[in-house]
Structure formats: C-alpha cells, structure tokens
Amino acid sequence: MSDEQIESLNTEGFLFEGTSIRGSNLRAYYGDGYGEGAVIGSPAGLRKWKVKIAVLPHTDDYNINAGEHGLQTRALYLWRFYERHNVANAFKPFWVRDPLFNQDFLAEIVEEELDYAMLCRLAYATGLTLRQRRVHGVESQSDPNLMENNDSI
C-alpha cells in the first residue's frame, strides 16, 4: 500500500471531543519502590480520537466535496466512507488530521459493525472512535516510525 492509495477523511463538520494517547510498555515492580520498564511498541505511542457530528442531514443543502466520489450529503459520505474502509476493504487505513497537533495520522474506524441508524446515533450521541494505524513502508509526518528504540524488546 502506498501513500497514493490512502484516502483522507473529510472532517468538515466534525467535532473532535477527545484525543488520547497510550504507550505500550512492560513494567516490573520488585517491591519497596524498586522497578523498571521497557518500551515494547512505538515510542510515539498510539492515538485515539472521539468524533461527533452535531448535524448529519441527508439533504443537498449540506453537501460536502468527497473528492473523487463527488458531492454527497454528509450522512451519505460518512456511510459510504465506512463501507469503503470497514466493509469492502477490511479496516483499510485512512488519513485524519488531528486538530490538536495539526498533523496527519493514519487511522481506522474502531466500530466493527454498524447499520445506518446506529452510525447516525453514534455520530450524534457518543461519537465514533478513530484509532491510529501504522502501515509498513508508509511514513507519516507525525509518526517517527524510523526512529531507533534502544529499549525495545
């Protein structure tokens, strides 16, 4: 997979409610305050985002530019995007711009099974969960994946 094959998510109208990061580490506690740790994943950690869409109308008044897919309502765009990335291509990664750091990350939609009504409810109420992805050979400006990690196992 090359950069040219990776689509970008159009986040027009999205509200990023949360950005989180998690490191992959091993820890050992020896007692009496002694311990040590080792990084076993990327030293950059793994990010996750919660996104909501306050308005998800299915009317032409709210069309967005879906690039090669043409003009679509925001609701239809999100549904078709989910189909392309989670159904037809088995969690195919896409680019998403993190508004907190203004950087692009590879990501995937975490929800494994959605129907249209559930997608709309999630987008309105609790939000969709996007999780950072990494693809061998694809570099992201935000992911120093070529960095040496001398503490890794």
**pLDDT tens-place values along the chain, 153 residues long:** 556 689 999 888 888 888 888 888 899 999 999 999 998 888 888 999 999 887 777 777 778 888 888 888 888 888 999 999 999 888 899 999 998 888 999 999 998 888 888 888 888 888 889 999 998 888 776 555 444 444 544
In a domain, 117, yes or no: yes
Q: CA-CA distance, 39 to 63, in Å (whole number)?
A: 45
Q: Which two tokens stand for residue 85?
A: 């990335």
| Strand extents, DSSP E, 69-112 | 71-73, 94-98, 103-109
pTM, entire model:
0.77
Residue 146 is assigned to a structural domain of this protein:
no
Q: Three-state SS for 67?
A: helix
Tokens read off for 116 = 């249209």
pLDDT value at residue 67? 83
Domain assignment present for residue 87? The answer is yes
Tokens of 138: 């694809």
Domain count, the chain: 1
Q: How far apart are the first and last CA of the chain?
A: 27
